[in-house]
Structure 1
């Protein structure tokens, strides 16, 4: 079936000498993987390899067999040109980290318009802002809503957060409970929008500690999820 859809690039891996295997989260068809033959050597082809940088927003014309196999992309063009995500060193490092998280976390092979809209709008916000040092923290927290394990907000007044069931409680009941400064920051972020992020001041130790808690939360709730390899690079860039 031929389809035209917007998509966000999650990854592009070189295959052989001239091919790319590209994983995209598409607006109309969910997660799709495409084999692009000869794209790394062809200068005259419709599809340019430069389109497939991490988290680039593109428009795709493709044939989808919807059988869980590699799909065929007929054409692609830039949907939204970022101003800074691939040129600013700090932002590009965050993009690399988030794309790895998304590859591990998003597995839906069907349309999810709400998730697509969240990714699209939050990345566009990130691209246009200058003070974004805590963006990845709020991005991951909000992403958990679309993945099905957003924390239980009504109970957030309690001092303990249970990573196993995503609820706040009065006392610790298992080894997956957290009751340190990470809980205070979590409570604050649950009531924060991206536009309010600049008001939250964190040092690197606090930021790193909270991110590790978030990634542990993801590991508990997503089978097969693991801490991104690019985490070390992210920590280094913020140090």
Structure 2
């Protein structure tokens, strides 16, 4: 067993028994880790508070990592990059719940992936500090695919269609699982940009809904076991 100090992003917190939580975190130093925090829901005096473990909160943890696939334990915790607006905005909270569900379903490895960690960390700070965020989750997912190894190949982007299975542009527009026309135009707007350019893109509610479902489909095709997030419908309702 080793005592480790690392930055961590909370992906989920599940109630265990009457008073405990099982926390899943993506840590900067060792990838995904699960922790048992006993008695946290009953104790008023403990150093650890349930509020620290809200979805996608950014923490600095000191923890015992046992590296045997068992649940680890947290000794100390402090919030880093505390959010100013995420917990007061219904729209931002809904985005956070959606993204935490997606990330929990995708990232499983117990190994360091600093570039992915920093992408998620800086994206969340961006979300907290900006107001023009209605397309944030679309760009987050698309740019996340870069770290997962299936970012769209944009080398032939003048072609008539995009093949979701191949992840590339094509002139064979009659195949299954290709996007064309207005959907293709919307999809292309998101390619190759970062969050600071997101305000230059405007989608109608309908377009945003269609693009989100296309990106989710793209993830389903490229990630074994990825399921359509339950919170997708809630997200669409909030944006309507």
TM-score clears 0.5: yes
Aligned-pair Cα RMSD in Å: 1.1
Unpaired stretches in structure 1, ≥5 consecutive residues: none
Bigger drift between 55-64 and 151-160 goes to 151-160
Q: CA deviation at 1:173?
A: 6.1
Q: CA deviation at 1:174?
A: 3.5
CA distance in 2, matches of 1:140, 1:150: 10
Asked if the contact 1:11–1:22 (Cα under 8 Å) also holds between the matched residues in 2, the reply is yes
CA distance in 1, matches of 2:76, 2:181: 50
CA deviation vs aligned residue, 1:45-101 (integer Å, no higher than 9, x gap):
121111011100001111112222211111111111101111111100110111111
Listed as ranges, the matches of 1:139-218 within 5 Å are 139-172=140-173, 174-218=175-219
Q: CA deviation at 1:163?
A: 1.1
Aligned to 2:120: 119
CA deviation vs aligned residue, 1:194-224 (integer Å, no higher than 9, x gap):
1111111111100000000000011111111
Q: TM-score, normalised by structure 2?
A: 0.96
Q: Would you identify which runs of 4 or more consecutive aligned residues in structure 1 move more than 2 Å?
A: none
CA distance in 2, matches of 1:119, 1:183: 26
SS state at 1:156 partner: coil
Aligned to 1:237: 238
Bigger drift between 154-163 and 31-40 goes to 154-163
CA distance in 2, matches of 1:66, 1:221: 29
Aligned to 1:40: 41
SS state at 1:76 partner: strand
CA distance in 2, matches of 1:34, 1:173: 49
Asked if the contact 1:21–1:36 (Cα under 8 Å) also holds between the matched residues in 2, the reply is yes
Q: CA deviation at 1:179?
A: 1.6
The answer on 1:28 being equivalent to 2:29 is yes
Asked if the contact 1:106–1:147 (Cα under 8 Å) also holds between the matched residues in 2, the reply is no
Asked if the contact 2:5–2:60 (Cα under 8 Å) also holds between the matched residues in 1, the reply is yes
CA distance in 2, matches of 1:67, 1:162: 42
Aligned to 2:94: 93
SS state at 2:63 partner: strand
CA distance in 2, matches of 1:180, 1:54: 37
Asked if the contact 1:27–1:116 (Cα under 8 Å) also holds between the matched residues in 2, the reply is yes
Length, aligned pairs only: 239
